[in-house]
């Protein structure tokens, strides 16, 4: 016998990334009995900080690391949990006039590498002028992909190469996939990082809830007002609601009974995959690396973007994150090759040889619980697609960075989606049993 | 009035032949130094001039456009073959592929165990009918398959459609729509494209950068000069289409349809082996494996008792297809397991279509919003028309679909002509 006075039924959250952990914490704070099931042996999902091998207690982030001014939910969460954020760094050039495009902000002399050389002097000005003129004369359509725009605008090979790095940076898509919107309207502005690595936020969240590690889920079955979550081990958890907060590429591969609606599976399988990952290394030339790379260097090579991921550490060695995506993702399949590419970028940026102290390579495409860096619907199609991706399927609620309409595919999107999914669960009225209706509501 | 066709694969060549046959002036621009696109065959690297089909291989019963094109061009086929075996009740199901010779962990699975796996999958298909849109791994999990059956079932997508299973829906494998009765082209798949291109004005090594419309004129801009046209047929795969600039900009619905059509990633591992007759017999309808090579089948026995075996492998981000020797060694393991002793490889080729700049992958995966997507992809934008396996109304993602789409695009060009002619006639005095 059930009525609204009873204890709310337990909730299971699948996935201990930022989305799942935020949902779980929110539910736990509201007095709900929550269990988080995580397939990996760690929490954090695609936020993943490593420390082993790094000198001076430094660290590297193999997953999400940037926090922009828009990341209000994540910033508030860090405040609540006592997770310290670094001072801001500006990626775009500081002398940017009002109303200038993000592309203008990334076009800074000395920060673009083309063909293994830094663009300076006349070559830089030539590329800069050409890109500015093209943006003014051939404004990109909101849905036009970058590659199509560069061809329509008739950009030279030099200008295309100059765009190549920062064109891929915001989404980690190839130029034939990324909306030119990211060049014209999506300013990144100032960025912060979690001091000590993004994992600190995941760890702080996890400390507040009950997480079961190494518990991969096989199937989620709904019937009769309850949900059963079945692990690969065969163990089953019964819940009143389930929040599924896994990678968008893993979500449709879980068993759902009944199956997920066709439009949801369709939207998920049609999602462009950002494939690839990161190569990170710690260099002993700390000061020169910080001087050259704290605000990012963009290249036309396999490492599209490289920056110091701990610029708030001002002495000792420096850690550099390099991003590899799309057609270049193969570089990550060979650790030595990936590191050689990063070394070359850092050496070019600082103008001298580098000495690598520690290193890690993360290929998210080959990670079975990620199957890619992430993915977002195209800018023009985003709203109707997110409406499909974020709609609960009865008692199964979907969370994850890909379900947030404004900050899709970011750590903030993950946090907001967790808050949204928790809200869905909390607002759901307790089930009213037939017996209760008969006894209390029906006038005899 | 001239039409420019971009891409000399089967779709582009079918469009160009259709237009040329009706007296139209056509120029085909091809980025690569060869025709055929993803139906290319290599004749240099195997012994005895044996063709290695690097891309498309199979013709299925019912692919009548493809069969008729072969008949018309005198392209000979190999003897009939099958890639799956009927279930005990005579029906074909997604379990039928699992009745092939099977290699797991490098060892041949005893036939009785194999049949037990196939029977288990068949029983699960009956007891727990898949939703057509449900992904292959999701159904395998929901149906509660045993670990071995689940592993082998998920491997099916490695050859159909040569992709990691995380994007492939059950409608692709159940019921099986290919593999019951099929053929290959006896002289290699590109025999068709080569024959189709005869008599056509095909300009190789012309990379198209942009398609610009001003008034009624179109300029197709390549790295080797501009080509004027009245109509353009874009007959390249999804990814290369997204790399061409269009002025005016393509409408949002077209770009979104292209972006929602990811391409399957993977390729082929091809080995030529000694003891051809014996291997041909033992390979039978094909060898299933739990990966990374998911299916191996044989071409007819060639000269000096050699045989060419073809293996399909999906790209799982692990670098398998990038290591030529290790990929061929993985094929050797499968072949040796079936032969019962170390197989003697005479030559080998690995082809990774994901790395091919003018392909972008093996085939398009239309499953995101199937079946609405191909019709959107096929719509013309004024005088710019679209062909290719992803735009076909039937047998989409196959060679037959490519040919059909080319003919359809040619008709779209001609119907613009007749509409224009009707308009001109109506305007003319008297």
Same domain, B115 and B149: yes
What is the H or E stretch that residue B125 is in?
Answer: helix B111-127
Q: What is the 3-state secondary structure (H, E, C) of chain A?
A: CCCCCCCCCCEEEECCEHHHHHHHHHHHHCCCCEEEECCCCCCECCCCEECCCCHHHCCEECCCCCEECCCHHHHHHHHHHCCCECCCEECCCCCCCCCCCHHHHHCCCCCEEECCEECCHHHHHHHHHHHHHHHHHCCCCCCCEHHHHHHHCCCCHHHHHHHHHHHHCCCCCCCCCCECHHHHCCCCCEEECECCCCHHHHHHHHCCCEEECCCCEEEEEEECCEEEEEECCCCEEEECEEEECCCCCCHHHCEEECCCCHHHHHHHHCCCCECEEEEEEEECCHHHHHHHHCCCEEECCCEEEEEECCCCCCCCCEEEEEEEEHHHHHHHHCHHHHHHHHHHHHHHHHCCCCCEEEEEEEEHHHCCCCCCCECCCCCCCHHHHHHHHCCCECCEEECCHHHCCCCCCCHHHHHHHHHHHHHHHHHCCCCCCHHHHHHHHCCC
Sort out which chain A residues have CB atoms less than 8 A from B255's CB and list them.
143-145, 148, 378, 380
Nearest residue of A to residue B364, measured between CA atoms: A270
Q: Indicate whether B9 belongs to any domain.
A: yes
Q: Indicate whether A131 belongs to any domain.
A: yes
Q: Indicate whether B104 belongs to any domain.
A: yes
Same domain, A146 and A262: no
CATH number of domain containing A306: 3.90.660.20
Disruptive mutation site among B136, B166, B223 for chain A (greatest number of A CBs within 10 Å):
B166
Sort out which chain B residues have CB atoms less than 8 A from A143's CB and list them.
249, 252, 255-256
Q: Indicate whether A87 belongs to any domain.
A: no
Smallest Cβ–Cβ distance between B242 and the set A176, A255, A327 belongs to A176
A378 has a chain B CB within 8 A of its CB:
yes
Sort out which chain B residues have CB atoms less than 8 A from A275's CB and list them.
317
Same domain, A144 and A176: yes
Same domain, A340 and A390: no
Sort out which chain A residues have CB atoms less than 8 A from B142's CB and list them.
219, 221, 255-257, 259
Domain count, chain A: 3
Q: Indicate whether B148 belongs to any domain.
A: yes
Same domain, A55 and A33: no
CATH number of domain containing B386: 3.50.50.60
Instruction: With CB atoms and an 8 Å threshold, state whether B165 touches A265.
Output: no
Same domain, A265 and A402: yes
Instruction: With CB atoms and an 8 Å threshold, state whether B133 touches A259.
Output: yes
Place of tokens 């020169």: A288
Q: Indicate whether B143 belongs to any domain.
A: yes
Sort out which chain A residues have CB atoms less than 8 A from B131's CB and list them.
258-259, 262
Nearest residue of A to residue B352, measured between CA atoms: A330
A142 has a chain B CB within 8 A of its CB:
yes
Nearest residue of A to residue B168, measured between CA atoms: A269
Instruction: With CB atoms and an 8 Å threshold, state whether A270 touches B261.
Output: yes
Tell me the nearest-neighbour CA distance from A291 into chain B, angstroms: 35
CATH number of domain containing A426: 3.50.50.60
Q: Indicate whether A1 belongs to any domain.
A: no
Same domain, B245 and B391: yes
Same domain, B157 and B100: yes
What's the domain range around A416? Answer: 11-45+199-272+372-434
Choosing from A184, A210, A236, the residue where a domain stops is A184
Q: Indicate whether B62 belongs to any domain.
A: no
Q: Indicate whether A83 belongs to any domain.
A: no
Same domain, B202 and B247: yes
Same domain, B100 and B129: yes
Choosing from B172, B206, B238, the residue where a domain stops is B172
Same domain, B13 and B152: no
Tell me the nearest-neighbour CA distance from B213 into chain A, angstroms: 11
Return residues 232-251 of A near B (CB < 8 Å). Answer: 249-250
CA distance A419 to A77: 11
Instruction: With CB atoms and an 8 Å threshold, state whether A148 touches B245.
Output: yes
pLDDT the model gives residue B423: 59
Same domain, A96 and A180: yes
Q: Indicate whether A440 belongs to any domain.
A: no
What's the domain range around B196? Answer: 2-38+190-262+364-427
pLDDT the model gives residue A385: 85
pTM of the model: 0.94
A253 has a chain B CB within 8 A of its CB:
yes
A275 has a chain B CB within 8 A of its CB:
yes
Instruction: With CB atoms and an 8 Å threshold, state whether A253 touches B137.
Output: yes
* Each residue's pLDDT tens digit, B210-262: 999 998 899 999 999 999 999 999 999 999 999 999 999 999 999 989 998 98
Smallest Cβ–Cβ distance between A152 and the set B210, B318, B322 belongs to B210
Smallest Cβ–Cβ distance between B138 and the set A152, A256, A371 belongs to A256
Choosing from A308, A332, A366, the residue where a domain stops is A366
Question: What residues in chain A have per-residue pLDDT under 70?
Answer: 1-6
State residue B74 phi and psi, 5-degree precision.
Answer: 70, 35
Choosing from B172, B207, B223, the residue where a domain stops is B172
Question: Quick one: DSSP state of residue B280?
Answer: H
Sort out which chain B residues have CB atoms less than 8 A from A141's CB and list them.
249, 252
CA distance A243 to A233: 20
A309 has a chain B CB within 8 A of its CB:
no
Sort out which chain A residues have CB atoms less than 8 A from B134's CB and list them.
256, 259-260, 265
A393 has a chain B CB within 8 A of its CB:
no
Q: Indicate whether B224 belongs to any domain.
A: yes
A388 has a chain B CB within 8 A of its CB:
no
A266 has a chain B CB within 8 A of its CB:
yes
Domain count, chain B: 2
Q: Indicate whether A170 belongs to any domain.
A: yes
Tell me the nearest-neighbour CA distance from B324 into chain A, angstroms: 14
Choosing from A316, A331, A366, the residue where a domain stops is A366
Nearest to B98 by CA among B173, B184, B182, B181: B173
CA distance A296 to A276: 19
Task: Count contacts between A and B (CB, < 8 Å).
Answer: 149
Same domain, B109 and B167: yes
Smallest Cβ–Cβ distance between A144 and the set B249, B262, B318 belongs to B249
Q: Indicate whether A214 belongs to any domain.
A: yes
Same domain, A250 and A328: no
Disruptive mutation site among B137, B138, B251 for chain A (greatest number of A CBs within 10 Å):
B138
Question: What residues in chain B have per-residue pLDDT under 70?
Answer: 1, 367-371, 419-430
Q: Indicate whether B108 belongs to any domain.
A: yes
Tell me the nearest-neighbour CA distance from B186 into chain A, angstroms: 34
Smallest Cβ–Cβ distance between A363 and the set B261, B317, B367 belongs to B317
What ipTM does this complex have? 0.93
Q: Indicate whether A76 belongs to any domain.
A: no
Residue B5 structure tokens: 């066709």
């Amino acid at each position: 016998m059930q009525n609204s006075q009873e204890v709310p039924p337990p909730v299971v959250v699948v996935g201990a990334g930022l989305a799942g952990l935020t949902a779980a914490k929110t539910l736990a704070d509201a007095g709900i009995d929550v269990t988080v099931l995580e397939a990996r042996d760690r929490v954090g999902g695609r936020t993943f900080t490593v420390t082993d091998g790094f000198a001076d207690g430094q660290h590297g982030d193999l997953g999400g690391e940037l926090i922009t001014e828009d990341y209000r939910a994540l910033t508030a969460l860090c405040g609540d949990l006592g997770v310290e954020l670094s001072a801001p760094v500006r990626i775009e050039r500081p002398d940017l006039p009002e109303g200038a495009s993000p592309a203008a902000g990334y076009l800074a002399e000395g920060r673009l590498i083309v063909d293994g050389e830094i663009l300076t002097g006349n070559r830089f000005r030539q590329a800069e002028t050409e890109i500015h003129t093209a943006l003014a004369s051939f404004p990109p359509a909101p849905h036009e992909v970058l590659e199509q725009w560069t061809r329509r605008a008739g950009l030279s090979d030099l200008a295309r190469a100059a765009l190549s790095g920062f064109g891929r940076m915001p989404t980690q898509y190839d130029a034939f996939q990324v909306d030119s919107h990211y060049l014209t309207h999506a300013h990144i502005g100032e960025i912060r990082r979690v001091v000590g690595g993004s994992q600190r936020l995941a760890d702080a969240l996890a400390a507040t809830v009950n997480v079961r590690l190494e518990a991969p889920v096989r199937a989620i079955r709904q019937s009769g007002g309850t949900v059963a979550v079945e692990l690969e081990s065969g163990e089953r958890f019964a819940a009143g609601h389930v929040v599924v907060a896994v990678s968008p590429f893993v979500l449709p591969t879980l068993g759902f009974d009944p199956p997920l609606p066709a439009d949801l599976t369709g939207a998920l399988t049609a999602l462009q995959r950002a494939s690839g990952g990161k190569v990170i290394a710690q260099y002993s030339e700390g000061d020169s690396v910080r001087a050259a790379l704290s605000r990012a260097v963009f290249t036309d090579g396999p490492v599209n973007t490289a920056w110091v991921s701990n610029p708030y550490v001002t002495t000792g060695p420096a850690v550099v994150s390099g991003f590899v995506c799309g057609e270049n993702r193969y570089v990550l399949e060979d650790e030595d090759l990936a590191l050689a590419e990063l070394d070359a970028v850092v050496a070019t940026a600082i103008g001298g040889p580098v000495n690598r102290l520690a290193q890690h390579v993360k290929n998210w495409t080959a990670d079975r619980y990620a199957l890619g860096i992430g993915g977002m619907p195209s800018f023009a199609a985003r709203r109707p697609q997110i409406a499909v991706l974020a709609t609960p399927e009865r008692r199964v609620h979907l969370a994850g960075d890909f379900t947030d309409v404004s900050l899709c595919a970011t750590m903030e999107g993950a946090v907001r989606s967790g808050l949204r999914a928790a809200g869905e669960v909390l607002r759901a009225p307790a089930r009213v049993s037939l017996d209760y209706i008969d006894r209390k509501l029906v006038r005899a | 009035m001239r039409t420019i066709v971009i891409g000399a694969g089967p779709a582009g060549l079918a469009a160009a032949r259709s237009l040329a046959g009706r007296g139209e002036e056509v120029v085909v621009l091809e980025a690569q130094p060869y025709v055929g696109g993803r139906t290319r065959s290599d004749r240099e690297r195997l012994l005895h001039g044996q063709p290695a089909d690097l891309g498309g291989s199979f013709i299925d019963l019912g692919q009548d456009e493809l069969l008729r094109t072969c008949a018309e061009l005198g392209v000979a086929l190999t003897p009939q073959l099958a890639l799956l075996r009927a279930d005990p009740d005579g029906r074909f199901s997604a379990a039928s592929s699992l009745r092939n010779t099977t290699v797991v962990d490098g060892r041949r699975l005893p036939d009785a165990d194999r049949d037990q796996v196939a029977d288990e999958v068949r029983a699960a298909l009956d007891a727990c009918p898949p939703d057509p849109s449900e992904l292959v791994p999701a159904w395998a999990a929901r149906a509660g398959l045993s670990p071995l059956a689940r592993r082998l079932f998920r491997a099916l997508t490695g050859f159909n459609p040569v992709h990691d299973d995380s994007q492939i829906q059950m409608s692709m494998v159940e019921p099986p729509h290919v593999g019951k009765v099929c053929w290959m082209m006896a002289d290699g798949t590109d025999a068709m494209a080569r024959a189709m291109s005869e008599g056509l004005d095909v300009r190789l090594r012309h990379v198209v950068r942009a398609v610009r419309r001003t008034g009624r004129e179109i300029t197709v801009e390549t790295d080797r000069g501009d080509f004027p046209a009245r109509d353009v047929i874009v007959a390249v795969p999804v990814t290369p289409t997204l790399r061409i600039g269009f002025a005016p900009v393509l409408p949002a619905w077209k770009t979104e349809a292209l972006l929602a059509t990811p391409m399957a990633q993977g390729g082929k591992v091809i080995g030529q082996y000694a003891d051809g007759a014996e291997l041909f017999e033992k390979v039978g309808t094909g060898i299933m494996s739990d990966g990374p090579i998911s299916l191996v089948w044989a071409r007819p026995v060639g000269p000096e008792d050699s045989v060419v075996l073809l293996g399909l492998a999906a790209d799982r981000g692990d670098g398998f297809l990038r290591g030529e020797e290790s990929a061929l060694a993985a094929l050797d393991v499968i072949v040796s397991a079936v032969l019962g002793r170390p197989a003697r490889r005479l030559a080998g080729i690995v082809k990774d279509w994901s790395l091919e700049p003018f392909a972008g992958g093996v085939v398009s995966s239309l499953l995101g919003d199937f079946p609405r997507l191909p019709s959107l992809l096929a719509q013309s934008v004024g005088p710019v028309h679209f062909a290719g396996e992803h735009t076909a109304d039937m047998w989409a993602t196959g060679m037959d679909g490519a040919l059909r789409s080319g003919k359809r695009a040619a008709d779209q060009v001609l119907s613009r002509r007749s509409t224009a002619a009707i308009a001109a006639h109506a305007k003319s005095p008297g």
